[in-house]
Structure 1
């Protein structure tokens, strides 16, 4: 797969200016594609959470001028235009407003002191994903809200609403078929060879629900595993613990503490499949030569001041594309010292941007990863 993320440094509330920043990166991406076998095309472009509005809004009143109609605002229009221009799937985060959802019970939101609201409207921190024709593949609404979302956003229905089939310009990852306890193959979604089962989430979704669910629950990663997703897209405005001075020195250095935390939140994907049947790809190579799951972390960078210059938010950048490759030891294979009976998981890192960098993370997952790390389970 050929995947790109834009790690933007958007200014809060400057929608037109932030779109211009993204357009500059589109020009750079097109030049990259021309220099990297343009005939292959691009499969996927992912932008950060609330990419054009900015994120650090302190209230409903502050964010209201930047709320966009469902699948119809400037973010959606930009996504459709770019998808058609590049011939790829494009995902963009945006603040969504929509009428009351028919047949649903009223959603509760914290609006005290945040300006007037209508009982007939709902607001979400959303991610629109469109294919090259401009048609919407999914409009996912953030399920696990962060405290910055609470003053204005309603909670999305479930992680399951972000599972879909993503079309590819290239062949999909090989599939693995798991048998149940009776030895039969359960009913699973069937995906054509040029599509890949995909799930999307937004930032806090990978954390425990409201930070009160058990840390080990890993609800989003568990959903990705149970749904059979082979591609996981996470659009983010993830904060860093670094101060301004340290962050300023890390244009070319990722925030590895943050990155390592992201990886730990996907621990359920490290576990081996039970009773798995190995399926060879078209070249006759076993599937274990390739990652079982690819994860795209599309974060933003920079700083945003809060109300009256208070509560400045600093973002971790470090956008990356990684693969998880499980390596069960073969029967008769000699174990390395200290890992008797232990399967290995390899973390493939094709590329990772700096914490303070504005730029493009562009990778071809058929190429050799930039780094490979190992996790024992």
Structure 2
């Protein structure tokens, strides 16, 4: 399977600009070259909105806004599955609205296959979004509830969906070794995990400019650690985990940033993102990364670009502490 991560540095609120940027980065990809294309969390709106009022102009109807339309058009054009993050506003038949941090997944025919709503919210999400319907299921003592979203997804097989904070302990208060996300994926028997992310780094803005094409290995090591159950269970069949993160910096000292058409998008405090998108293979107690011809298949901490891996090829780079 050929899997691609499109690592972007979106400008907050500049939706059309960010879409145009994504299209430019994909311009050399021909139909049939990919099986799955994954974009970051809130890929075209940006992430760092400080309040409901700030993000409200950019909320998109369930699988029907500009992000979903882009996914449909791109999936049809490239003849591949597409997963991309967006801020969803859902309206019930009674007129009640609920906001979610979501991803939409579209088939090569342009059909919406899944709409996943983030289960474990980061504090930035909590200012405007609700947990997905089963977000706290593991902590509600309701045996019939299941968090996250797992199931058959077209020709991709049995797939699990997640968004960024989902792989952390619930609200950073659950025990570290509960591994809620990873253990759910194991119980559900998934063989492919798709993660759209806007994962932060502790690095400062000027540090991101130093060797921007080099990954943030502290972040990559942490991601690996959060899938400890995949290592300890030593599955005979491989499990592929796609980490599609964003890069760049959001936030400024004035609190607002001018965007297209004269609009302004209010930003939160300055934050830096870790980039470092990659695809990990877990099998038999080992974790490996793929080769992309000129070395290990992992994007830099501040590098916009498209990473493509072929999971039918040998994953030659062992991802053990201090090995790459």
Q: TM-score, normalised by structure 2?
A: 0.86
**CA–CA separation in structure 2 for the residues paired with 1:101 and 1:259:** 43
Give how far 1:257 is off.
Answer: 0.3
Aligned to 2:57: 65
Q: CA deviation at 1:163?
A: 1.0
Q: 1:214 to 1:255 in 2, by over 3 A?
A: same
**Corresponding position: 1:85 with 2:97:** no
Tell me the equivalent position of 2:278. 320
SS of the equivalent of 2:269 reads: coil
Residue 208 of structure 1: CA displacement?
A: 0.6
Q: What CA distance in whole angstroms lies between the structure 1 residues aligned with 2:304 and 2:63?
A: 26
* Displacement after TM superposition at 1:153 (Å): 0.4
Which residue matches 1:348? 288
CA distance, structure 2, for counterparts of residue 361 and residue 23 of structure 1: 15
Offset at 1:197?
0.5
**1:370 to partner: Cα distance:** 4.9
- The CA distance in 1 between the partners of 2:93 and 2:207, in whole Å, is 45
Distance 2:253 2:52 in 1: 12
Q: Contact (CA 8 Å) 1:5, 1:319: kept in 2 or not?
A: yes
Q: Using the TM superposition, give the Cα deviation of residue 306 of structure 1 relative to its aligned residue in structure 2, in angstroms.
A: 5.5
- Structure 1 residue 157: Cα displacement: 1.8
1:139-184 Cα deviation digits (max 9, x unpaired): 000010001001100110236452121233xxxxxxxxxxxxxxxx
- Structure 1 residue 374 displacement after superposition: 4.7
1:371 corresponds in structure 2 to 317
Which runs of 5 or more structure 1 residues have no equivalent in the other structure?
A: 103-118, 169-194, 277-287, 327-344
What is aligned with 1:107? none
Q: Separation in 2 of the partners of 1:234 and 1:316?
A: 14
Unaligned runs of 5+ in 2: 135-145, 256-267, 291-296
In our comparison, the structure showing a higher alpha carbon Rg is 1
Aligned residues: 292
TM-fit CA distance, 1:307: 7.5
Q: Is 129-138 or 67-76 further displaced after alignment?
A: 129-138
Partner of residue 16, structure 1: 16
In structure 1, C-alpha distance between the alignment counterparts of 2:176 and 2:254, rounded to whole Å: 35
Equivalent residue for 2:216?
255
Q: Could you tell me the TM-score, scaled by structure 1's length?
A: 0.74
Partner of 1:27, secondary structure, is coil
Structure 1 stretches (4+) deviating beyond 2 angstroms? 158-161, 306-310
Contact 1:98 1:123 in 2 (8 A): yes
- The answer (yes or no) to whether the contact 2:3–2:34 under 8 Å persists in 1 is yes
